[in-house]
Structure 1
């Protein structure tokens, strides 16, 4: 059975097993909440900004995890969830802060490799370095220079308030590019369309995490299409953070039909509780996108760039 037919027939169990990608997944928040809570009875996920989301996560989930054991449990769950959901290309984003739970950076990276090989060796795993936006760039540069020598990360992402300038990260991204690392950054989730174009231009990005604000500007849409920039979109995250009113009018449809490469991703499943498969279903059942269009999106995520 084809992916499109499984969607059209609402054969969602078959749909779950079909190959998909997840290229926007924060590793310690990428697992299934049912791995840790027998009875999922959590307050409503209703956020207007990232601070509210973080407060909800801290109060309802994060307290359960601590130290090396807590880190490993969450990453293990992320790999298991990806495997269960038919994910074949998986970019998991890691910060360096969690390395404090290990004897060395080498031990930290080895633990992640072992989890991949033990749980889901069939998955094309793309370890991603997650950097936080800051004006104090020197410590970040020093850390990056040390980390990059281990040749572990194959992708880089920049998180935080995506309305802030990214210009001070230019030298870091140049070094990453010289190593053949995939260049990404969070843009256009809270910022406007022009901030997407500027961020891509300054950092020479290959892909944008979110980027949905680009849908409001014909000039930016044209620019993204011409420059072959891929947007790794997280529909449930956008809806639950009130960046988009509903799945039915999600801008992924407009971006896709404008010829921009888009993918569907989970973002923080431990918070949003929506798998990649479920988001395909959400977009299809809402009438936002057709089964054939969603299959094209799926195939885009499986292509090597």
Structure 2
């Protein structure tokens, strides 16, 4: 059986794909390989070679290259299938795939949504332990979301909650009552913070929402005080290197802040974010970090284990 160390030393993606890994920062309708989706759409799609200017530019690329091939709900479900198929192919044994309330509604309500996602998990990635994540937008109507929480979380199916999107859309404190309600259901509390914002934004969000994990959080590297605080409180950062580079949050793999964050004692994981846009698997992310001498094999192994143990 392939080992993590051997696969990295031999620069073998095929061997690395056999090693158990996690992907705990990835979005449901964007979690698979471009090639898999393109074959279904009977077309050719190439990932962007140039970084995006911002999230809007990224979304425009996605709409023009991926969503244009969707055929109603069938196209969306093919993208969901693509995400689970990718998890199986890359031996992702711990997967936190996120979905919005609008997707729940589009798939027929919470009970139909749960049965549909359970079917896709069982059919396309039966060995993968799936931990569903409820994804909110920073632009959401907070009161409207709050009114839906009991209906959605009372099934005890979602294992975590997240906020993504434009970090400047509204103050993070507006989501406090949502997170207190979610906390009462025992779900993990996460949020996209510090991708575009500041180190202080990361610390503020963790304190106000009582987060245990932050998606991205790389802006924390700009403050020694914040890094010490995150390390002391064992706040995990779920980092996506290629996403950060493609959105101009990092200049290169070699200079990616994951190294400094890790060296300052902060638990970090390696993830894909939007694989159907960035086209870089978890295995490829690990290989890029190793080949570019960002982290050693021993350090990457610690990170791999952190991901695998996130839900234990």
Flag the 1:43–1:299 CA change in 2: closer, same or farther, 3 A.
Answer: closer
Deviation at 1:32, TM superposition (A): 0.9
1:101 paired to 2:106: yes
Deviation at 1:130, TM superposition (A): 0.3
User: Could you say what secondary structure the match of 1:36 adopts?
Assistant: helix
Q: Spell out the pairing of 1:167-206 with structure 2 (5 A cutoff).
A: 167-206=173-212
What is residue 128 of structure 2 aligned with on the other side?
123
User: Could you say what secondary structure the match of 1:44 adopts?
Assistant: coil
Flag the 1:248–1:182 CA change in 2: closer, same or farther, 3 A.
Answer: same
Q: Spell out the pairing of 1:125-144 with structure 2 (5 A cutoff).
A: 125-134=130-139, 136-144=141-149
Q: Spell out the pairing of 1:1-305 with structure 2 (5 A cutoff).
A: 1-38=2-39, 39-41=44-46, 43-134=48-139, 136-163=141-168, 164-303=170-309, 304-305=311-312
Q: Deviations over 1:92-135 (max 9, x none)?
A: 00012123333332111110111111111211100000001137
Deviation at 1:42, TM superposition (A): 5.3
| Superposed structure 1 runs of 4+ greater than 6 Å apart | none
- 5+ residue gaps, structure 2, are none
- 5+ residue gaps, structure 1, are none
Contact 2:47 2:277 in 1 (8 A): no
Flag the 1:230–1:42 CA change in 2: closer, same or farther, 3 A.
Answer: closer
User: Could you say what secondary structure the match of 1:180 adopts?
Assistant: coil
Deviation at 1:281, TM superposition (A): 0.7
- For 2:48 and 2:164, the matched residues in 1 are separated by 26
Q: TM-score, normalised by structure 1?
A: 0.96
- For 2:152 and 2:112, the matched residues in 1 are separated by 13
Count of residues in correspondence between the two structures: 305
Q: Deviations over 1:143-189 (max 9, x none)?
A: 22321122221110001222442111111111111211011000000
User: Could you say what secondary structure the match of 1:280 adopts?
Assistant: helix
Q: Deviations over 1:195-223 (max 9, x none)?
A: 00000000000100000000110000000
* RMSD, aligned α-carbons: 1.4
Contact 1:45 1:272 in 2 (8 A): no
Contact 1:92 1:125 in 2 (8 A): yes
272-281 or 96-105, which deviates more: 96-105
Q: TM-score, normalised by structure 2?
A: 0.94
